[in-house]
Amino acid sequence: MLFQIEGTEVYFVASIHFGKQSFYPFSTLADKACDAAKTVYFESRPTDISHLMHCPPGRTLSDCVSPAIIEKLRTVAPKAGMDFKKLLTLKPWAVALSFFPALCAREGCAETFSVERYFTKRAQIAGAQIEFLETPEEALAVFDAAPKAEMENFLARGLFHPEKVQSEVKQMMIAWQNSDIPACDRIIETHIKRFPFFEELVYGRNRKWLPKLHELTSLNTPAFVCVGILHFAGEHSLQYLLNKDHGHNVRRLE
């Protein structure tokens, strides 16, 4: 799914953070837009975030969630090939995200084939400057700021109902493959109802990125922006905010 801010050489591509080798080669138009860009933007720099995942000194996961969740984790962790004691040092959201790659793998997906990695390689080959819209700390601050009960439920759902999370992974993949924004609208609506922090995770970050994205339009140089597909869906999508706050018409190319 490719977009362009009319009257500029600023392009946006909708990504997913996991994928399959069969997804590539990618769209010819998106490939050309990336290859021609002087600067290519991604959400945040891929880096070691382990220091952000651990509980504060003197606290453990047991201080953050119910005994029932701890007992379930004790059973589930070995089956997933994970160290239960190490998981106890992590925050609830970090434990939940630790299981996510395994759920993606069940659908034949892996981060190795993410859209971000694909376009990072193209940008490097083309000699483009690679920039980021936020730091890892800024991205993960949304999880840390969420209410304790929400984070507990976020983890519990993955532990007690992994099949539902796996189904959502599949729905997201299908929506991305079909460039189906209405399906993404429904995914966002469902997630926000279940976990209100999701509104800040998607819409809140859209708003924070807005000044930098608007600035790109005044530089008069080709730019390419690769961010998750959900940022282009819902009532406060990037294209809606760019039009509402800055008067930019974001045109969908494919």
> What does the pLDDT average to over 189-216?
95
Stretch 106-134: mean pLDDT = 92
Task: Give residue 198's pLDDT band: very low, low, confident or very high (50, 70, 90).
Answer: very high
Within 8 A by CB and 6+ apart from 234, the residues are 184, 185, 188, 189, 202, 203
Token readout for 155 is: 């983890």
Residue 125 domain-assigned? yes
Question: Tens digit of pLDDT for each residue in 81-93?
Answer: 999 999 999 999 9
pLDDT at 91: 96
CA dist 86 and 55 (Å) reads 11
Binned at pLDDT 50, 70 and 90, residue 219 comes out as: confident
* Phi–psi pair at 63, nearest 5 degrees: -80, -10
What is the C-alpha to C-alpha distance for residues 85 and 90, in angstroms, rounded to an integer? 10
Is 0.85 surpassed by the pTM of this model? yes
Using pLDDT thresholds of 50, 70 and 90, give the confidence band for residue 220: confident
Separation CA 15–CA 90 (nearest Å): 28
What is the average per-residue pLDDT within 219-243? 94
Burial 142-158 (b: 16+ CB within 10 A, else e): bbeebeeebbbbbbbbb
C-alpha distances out from residue 235 to 1, 30, 47, Å = 18, 25, 31
In a domain, 186, yes or no: yes
What is the pLDDT confidence band of residue 160, given thresholds at 50, 70 and 90? very high
**Considering the domain boundaries, does residue 200 fall inside one?**
yes
Residue 130's pLDDT band (cuts 50, 70, 90): very high
Q: How far apart are CA 138 and CA 124, in angstroms?
A: 25
Say if CB 54 and CB 90 are below 8 A apart: yes
Check: CB of residue 113 under 8 Å from CB of residue 16. Answer: no
Stated length of the chain = 254
Residue 204: which domain range?
2-47+108-150+164-252
Banded pLDDT at 97 (limits 50, 70, 90): very high
Which parts of 24-135 fold into alpha helices (H)? 28-36, 50-53, 67-79, 84-87, 92-106, 115-126
pLDDT tier at 141, thresholds 50, 70, 90 = very high
Cα–Cα dist 22/167, whole Å:
20
Q: What is the mean pLDDT of residues 178-182?
A: 92
In a domain, 134, yes or no: yes
Report the chain's terminal Cα–Cα distance, integer Å. 5
Q: Please say if the pLDDT value at position 254 is more than 80.
A: no
DSSP line for 34-45: HHH-SEEEEEE-
- Sequence-distant (6+) residues with CB within 8 A of 29 are 2, 253, 254
pLDDT value for 5: 94
Q: Is position 156 within any domain? A: no
Extract the runs of DSSP E, i.e. beta strands, from 113-215.
Answer: 129-134
Whether 82 is in a domain gets the answer: no
Number of folded domains in the chain? Answer: 1
Measured CA to CA, the distance from residue 133 to residue 164 in angstroms comes to 31
- What letter does residue 204 receive in the DSSP assignment? I
Q: Distance between CA atoms of 19 and 45, rounded to whole angstroms?
A: 19
